[in-house]
Structures are given as C-alpha cells and as structure tokens.
Structure 1
Amino acid sequence: MKLIQLPTQAFEQRLKQELEENPALETGKESSDTTEDDFEDSYDAETDNESINAEDINIDDYLSDDETPDYRTQSNNYSPDDDEKSIPYAAGTSFNQFLLNQLNTVYLNDQEWSIAEFLVGSVDESGYIRRPISDILDDLAFTQNIIAEESTIKKVLKVVQELDPPGVGATSLEECLIIQLKRKEVTPSIELAILILEKSFEQFTKKHYKKLIQKHSITEDELKDAISEIEKLNPKPGGSYAGNNRIIEHIVPDFSIKIVEGELELTLNGRNAPELHVSREYNNMLEGYKNSKEKSKSQKDTVMFIKQKLDAAKWFIDAIRQRQQTLFITMNAIMQYQREYFLTGDERKLRPMILKDIADTIHMDVSTVSRVANSKYVDTPYGTKLIKEYFSESMKNEQGEDVSTKEIKKILETVIGEEVKKKPLTDDKLAAILKEKGYPIARRTVAKYREQLGIPVARLRKKI
C-alpha cells in the first residue's frame, strides 16, 4: 500500500534506497539463462533438517518455492508502519537565499544587514512581508537583541523592496503593485495607474469606474489604458521564482492514454516496472553453507544475515509486481468508466464517478483506489491531469438523469466566458440560464460552483 501511493519519481527514489540498503537485491536481467522459476525450483529436490541457533531456519525450506513464503506474510521486512516520507523535490536555491545573495551587493552596516536578513526571512512564498513593523521591532529585540528605531526598519525595508523580482517585500497588494509600476519607464498611463492605486485603491478593486473617471477627471480611454498597465503586473512576485520556499515536485505522468485506431490504449510508465532479481551470489552462499560439513558460529550468524536480506529482496520484488498490477487495473477501470470523455476530451462527457464505483468494479478497497487517484498523473491527448480530477459528485437534470457536477461547471464557465463584460451576469441570471439548458440548480449552488472555479462575482468581472 505504501508503494502504491508513491508517484513515479518518488517510487524511483524508494527503489534506489532499497537497492543501496539490500545487497541481495539486484537490478537488470540475470546473466544466467536459467529462468527464475527454474532457479527457485532447483532447491525443491532434497530436504535438509539442519537448523541454525534458536531460529530453526531450514535452508531447504527457505530456498524452496513455498505457496506462502515468509516474505508474503510479513509486513515489517523493510520499513515501519508510518507513511513513506521520502519524496523527491526539485533542487535549487531557495527564494530567501536568492534574496540574500542580492543583498551582498548592497552596502549596509552591521545592524542594517542583520535587520535586512531578518526581513528577508519574513518574506512569505508569495513575496510579501505580512507583519506589522511594530511586531518586527519586538522580534528583533527579543530574538536578535537588536534595538532599532521604526525609521531604521522602514529604511532597510525600502532596500529589500528594491530587490528582484519587482514587488518583493511589499506589505500589501497595493504597495506591491505600486513598487512594480515605479520600476517601469514613466508614461502617462503608468503615472495615472500609480495615482489610482495610491489615492483610489478601494474604488479600483471594487471596479467603480465611473467614480474613478469623475474623481481623477479622466476619459474612459485613459482609465482603460491605466487599468491595462495594472493588469500586466504580478500580484504574487514570489510565485515567479521557481526555486522559492515552496517545495515543488516535478510531475512525471504515471500513465499514458492514447487513441489508436479509435480505441483507447493505456500504458504504465516504464519507470514503474524495473527489472529486479534476487542475487544469485547470495543464494550460492546459502547453498555453500548447506554443503559444508563444519558450521562455525560466524557462519551461522552470516547465514542469518543472508536469509534476512533475501527475505527482504523477495518481498520487495513481489510488492513491486503487485503495485504494477494494482496501478494498471485501477487506471484501466477509470479509463473504461470515463470512455466517452477520453475518446473526445469533452468534459461534458465526464460521468459522475466516486471512489466506490471503481473499487466495486475492480473488487478492491476504496482506500486502494484513493491512493492511486490522489497521487498519480495520467498523460492524455488533452493534457496531463491528476487522476482524482476525474472523480466528481452528481445531480439530476430535468430528465432525471445523473450528470456530473464537472459537466455543469464546464457549462457555467462557458456561459460566463461568453457574457458581455460591460454587463456581467449575476448568479441569479446564471441560475436561470442553466435552468433553460436543463440543469435546475439554485442560485446558492451556482455561487458555490463559481467560487470553486475561481471566478469572482459579477461586479468584479465588469470591464469598461
């Protein structure tokens, strides 16, 4: 179950770790032409009652191909029962380190440098310093033993705000946007944009365009040009730095779905199916011990170690095979369940689907399906998607048929995309349009779906 929940890249790290820790596990094809079955069966012929210490290890029983060997039933051969935490992440300089490196080019005295370092450490992943100056003063005094004036903090903050990316170190969205505008070449539109943000930020955010035109004695075109400049800015400057504080995992699709001659073809990423085998050298060591006439204590200790490593290697190989099979069976069931969608790419063809639907189809536990859906990606002709995105709730349309809420959201998104932006549609009007299209849902449900899509209310969608 732990292996199933790992995406491809994390699985490779887990495999690498196991190979490093267990010399009885080897990768690649065996050099011998002997098949694995022949290899295992070769120990079935004779029986030996030689035992080792109190463990009573019967070597022939161990080497034989029992129906249920130890490694199939033991759950603690490798790791404890806590969740696997080794996940590969993108390497690189952190966002905070990136800022500190820039500070090295600025002249600051010792106190100012300490303050600047503290301020950089307070920058969040979006690029903001969201703490009041008074709190920063207190923290500097208690944690750094630095007693400074508020004016000094503000002076150093200005230095931090001159770093790249533009807008970093701002204490508010308003300040962030103004910092970016002041970095640009001065034009009438830029000057007006700065004036609007400094003097009429609330009216701007609420899109009270008529009030802005009256207050600043400007034309509609001038306002439109100023707003255009503001819309080009980045409200989250920290997000533009790939190596920021957030841990970023590279997405490697675990599955691929292609359409071949009108039929769906599913493949599992080959990196999930490594060639592994149990070390023949380690098996030969056991064979040598069995055939030796004199068995010293050191030899017995060695054979105990060898048995433990072989147990772990066989268990791991078996677990990987089960992982491959479970991943493929689960994704294949999802693909067949959503066949119409994968053939067309039309999200309106997505059927309502919950974890239990797939669990019942493949006769597995819901938790198994959840582990596959929550951490795996599939490469489709329509983009790479997280598998859990294909699961959704359902509701009845006017014909009493179950339809996916994703289908309704897609239609809602299309309707809003086609609206006249000078007079955007209210939630009441959106509910009426959806009802006309055969989806009788309440206004509050429309509001919920709109928010889930990240679409603002009608007033904030208005454009001049």
Structure 2
Amino acid sequence: MLKQHLSFKLSQKLSPQQIQLMKLIQLPTQAFEQRLKQELEENPALETGKEESDDFDDDFEDTYNDESDDNETITTEDINIDEYLSDDEVPEYRTQANNYSADDEEKTVPYAAGTSFNQFLINQLNTVTLTDDEWSIAEFLVGSIDESGYIRRPITDILDDLAFTQNIYTDQESIEKILRIVQQLDPPGVGATSLEECLIIQLKRKEITESIELAITILEKSFEQFTKKHYKKLIQKYNITEDELKTAISEIEKLNPKPGGSYSGNTRMIEHVVPDFSIKIVDGELELSLNGRNAPELHVSRDYNNMLEGYKNSKEKTQSQKDTVQFIKQKLDAAKWFIDAIRQRQQTLFVTMNTIMEYQKKYFLTGDERNLRPMILKDIADTIGMDVSTVSRVANSKYADTPYGTKLIKEYFSESMKNDQGEDVSTKEIKKILENVIKEEEKRKPLTDDKLAEILKEKGYPIARRTVAKYREQLSIPVARMRKEI
C-alpha cells in the first residue's frame, strides 16, 4: 500500500542573474569582449555608447564611486507591465531560471590557420618516387607522427593496422625501409621512434666532423651512460679528453628533441594574454587601473521602451499584442540584468585586485619575490567580504600588467611555513631562495637534496629533504646527478 507524507527541505538555488554574474567574473578581457558582442547581437534592447543625456566620467573608478547610475537613463522598474497582463497570465520567461552550474561555460579553442604539420610532411612525400603500396605505407607512417615529431607505436602494431585498415600486407623490413625515407623529411629528426634515434638522425644530417662523429658514437653505443651523465666512464671508454667530450656534448645540446614543435605552421593553440589590470608605481605609491575594455558603455534602448509604452497605451488588447509585450519586457529585463552584471563585475574585479595589491604592497613596490607574503584565497575573501569561489574566479583567469612583467594573479598566492624565528613566510620565498642556491652551486659537483636542506636550514628555513625535493620538482629543476656538468 502506498503511503503519502509531506516533508520540508531547504535548498539553495542561484538566480539567473547570479549565474550570469559569476560567468562574467571568471571571463578574462578577450573572452568578456566576445561575450559582450554576443549579447549585443542577441538582444536588440541593449545598446552600446552614451545617450545624449548622459554626463559622467569615463574613468572606471568614478563609475565605481558614483551611485547615481547616470549611464542608465531608462529602467524597466518604471514599467508596470503586470497592469497590462491579466492575473492568470504569467510570462513564460519569468519561470525559466536556466539554473545550471556556473562552471558550465562554453570553451572555444582558437587554432592557427595554414597548412597542418601532417599536410606539410605529405607535401614533401609528393617529391619522392614511390609505388602505390609504398605511398600508402609512407602516408600511414606520416599519419602516425605525433605533434612532437615522433612515431610512438611499435612497427609490429603498424604492420597489423596496415593489414586490417588499409588491406596492405607487407613485412617489417619493408615498413622500416619506408620509415627511413620518412625520416629524411624536414624538419630533421621527424619520424624517429625514440629520442636516441631522433638525435642521431639530426647529427647525421650535419657536416661530419670529429666532434659530431664522437657524438654519434656516444649516442649509438652509450646512450644510457650519456643520459645519466657518467662522464668519467665515457672518457675512459672512448679514451678521449675532457675537452673532447665537452665539445661532443655541446653538439648534442644544439639538437632539437622535439622536431615537430619547430614547424612554424604547426597547428596549435594561440594564446594572447591581454592584461585585465595595470599596476604602476607613481611617486612611490601603487596605482591600480582596470583595463578599459572591461568597462563598456551600455544603456537600455529608448526605442524599445517607447514601443512598450505604445503597446501599453493601445486601446485594443489582442493576444498578439500581449505576446509582443512579453517579448519586449523580456528583452528589457535581460538588458538591465546584463548592465547590472557588468557593473558588479567591474566592482568585483577592481575591489579584489586592489586588496591583493595592498596585501602584497611590499612585493609590488620592489619586484622581489622574496617579499611575497603568504596569501590564500580566504585571506582576500575575508577582507572584501566575498565568497572564496568569487576570489578564485578572479585569480585563476586574470592577468596583471606590472612593472615586472605580465603575470597571472594566482601566482601571487602561496601557502605559508614557519621559519626558525616562528614567523610565517611564503613558500614562494623559500622556492626563490632554493632556486638561487642551485643556480650558484658548483656544476661539477651539484648539491644533493640533503645538502640543499642543510643550506636552507642555515638560512633560517628548517624544511625536510622531501620538501626540498617537492619544491625542486615544482621549479622543474632535475636531481643533482642530472645537473652535473664537466
């Protein structure tokens, strides 16, 4: 038997305006401009530029401090559309919240135009005389080359794929023969099946000298010893001097380990960084400004308001007129929501970055990363009275143009550790000191992680060896053995 019962439950849902605001906040300048353009195209009730009656400063800070809302001379609150519609007719747009996650954003990736890397190689194959089957094998091999320029798959797998997908039955020797032809294409080293082979191919394309011949021999017969930097063993094995080994290694270091990346027409993502903020030092004080492209001049269309007033004053109330009124009111509401959201976005961005700038004032005045204070998202959120997620949206996607370069804002955040005096210091400060210590070390005898931990302890930062190893890896610095030079 079915039972029915009532239960009460509290739930929190975001309004469409809140969702719109959160999405706008996380957009960097260029993406914001695209979003603004899209909104202007989709909503005829939203217009850009000033109206004749507007009289306010272009500067964002004045806009932020001005509570009069002069740039919006028409407001939808002045229109009592409910008097026009009957009580039992609720416009459909009012019931649509579209309450999906604020993170459900459209992600578009721009790509470079031009010939792809794969097509670039195919074009070179057209100059080689091959039979139909050889051409098919060569084309398949080129198609197996990744963005770095390597063929990562075993020849046996390629052999099977040719049989199943291309109906070409051949043997491993024939594939290797065509592979050697592919490896003659540009850029040098393309089509290699390993780093060792890639470097050797490039060396063999050079004019052979004693140092290059030695470099080829080392890579062909002692690649493992070379990668592990067992230089003394190499000197003994080949009965050479230290200078001869150094010259051979110098030739190897000139090579490109990723030949595919050297192709200028290679299709890859283009990333244009447009600073969202600018920080300058004026008379010894910090000055913050928001990129003007983030503060567009928008207003609600006066024509749309006049249309609505016309329908409102009309004596005949047909269903068609009611539908038109609902459409106009929807567009006017959407236009006002968007204007309000942009204004709040400007305020949120400016207040958040200004607080970060003041928090890290010593760093921004000097540029010394050792002056970065420990700072987490909650520190800023508590100061400005906003949610941590809001600060995160600003920090993770915005850039600041500073006297020391353009940097992602989240780079100014770091955890804290205690020094030997019990003071909180930024982990970035410790990493910077660690980086400097490694930079100044004797390269013939690099410092181990244990020794680095001892040096940091002497400098007042008592951290464990495993923490040193973690920071070193985060700085993309190899272990001591791999930093060794002759």
TM-score (norm 2): 0.85
The 3-state SS of whatever aligns with 2:47 is strand
Deviation string, structure 1 residues 164-202 (Cα, Å, up to 9, x no partner) = 332222211111111222222222222211111111111
Q: CA deviation at 1:43?
A: 4.0
The 3-state SS of whatever aligns with 1:156 is helix
The 3-state SS of whatever aligns with 1:55 is coil
State the alpha-carbon separation in 2 of the partners of residues 3 and 110 from structure 1.
55
- Confirm whether residue 269 of structure 1 aligns to residue 260 of structure 2: no
- Confirm whether residue 10 of structure 1 aligns to residue 31 of structure 2: yes
Q: How does 1:108-257 map to 2 (within 5 A)?
A: 108-241=130-263, 244=266, 246-257=268-279
Q: Which residue of 1 aligns with 2:383?
A: 361
User: 1:128–1:170: 8 Å Cα contact kept in structure 2?
Assistant: yes
The 3-state SS of whatever aligns with 2:281 is strand
Q: Closer, same or farther in 2 for the Cα pair 1:267/1:38, shift >3 Å?
A: closer
What's the Cα RMSD here?
2.6
Q: How does 1:287-302 map to 2 (within 5 A)?
A: 287-302=309-324
Amino acid in structure 2 at the alignment position of 1:460: M
State the alpha-carbon separation in 2 of the partners of residues 311 and 11 from structure 1.
20
User: 1:14–1:86: 8 Å Cα contact kept in structure 2?
Assistant: no
Deviation string, structure 1 residues 143-178 (Cα, Å, up to 9, x no partner) = 343333223322332333233332222211111111
Q: CA deviation at 1:90?
A: 4.3
Amino acid in structure 2 at the alignment position of 1:278: V
Q: Closer, same or farther in 2 for the Cα pair 1:302/1:193, shift >3 Å?
A: same
Q: Closer, same or farther in 2 for the Cα pair 1:263/1:418, shift >3 Å?
A: same
Deviation string, structure 1 residues 255-308 (Cα, Å, up to 9, x no partner) = 111111111111122221222222222222112211222243333322222222
Q: Which residue of 1 aligns with 2:75?
A: 40
Q: Which residue of 1 aligns with 2:352?
A: 330
Which range moves more in the overlay, 368-377 or 309-318? 309-318
Unaligned runs of 5+ in 1: 58-69
State the alpha-carbon separation in 2 of the partners of residues 47 and 142 from structure 1.
68
Q: CA deviation at 1:207?
A: 0.8
The one of 421, 424, 439 equivalent to 1:417 is 439
Q: Which residue of 1 aligns with 2:89?
A: 55
Deviation string, structure 1 residues 334-368 (Cα, Å, up to 9, x no partner) = 11111111111111111111111111111111111
Q: Closer, same or farther in 2 for the Cα pair 1:362/1:123, shift >3 Å?
A: farther
Which range moves more in the overlay, 34-43 or 433-442? 34-43
State the alpha-carbon separation in 2 of the partners of residues 48 and 438 from structure 1.
70
- Confirm whether residue 83 of structure 1 aligns to residue 104 of structure 2: yes
State the alpha-carbon separation in 1 of the partners of residues 109 and 41 from structure 2.
16
Amino acid in structure 1 at the alignment position of 2:75: E
- Confirm whether residue 382 of structure 1 aligns to residue 404 of structure 2: yes
User: 2:111–2:267: 8 Å Cα contact kept in structure 1?
Assistant: no
Q: Closer, same or farther in 2 for the Cα pair 1:41/1:53, shift >3 Å?
A: closer
Unaligned runs of 5+ in 2: 1-21, 56-69
State the alpha-carbon separation in 1 of the partners of residues 76 and 390 from structure 2.
33
Amino acid in structure 2 at the alignment position of 1:39: I
Q: Which residue of 2 aligns with 1:25?
A: 46
Aligned residues: 449
Q: Which residue of 1 aligns with 2:305?
A: 283
User: 1:13–1:87: 8 Å Cα contact kept in structure 2?
Assistant: no
Q: Closer, same or farther in 2 for the Cα pair 1:248/1:198, shift >3 Å?
A: same
* Poorly superposed stretches of 4+, deviation over 6 Å: none
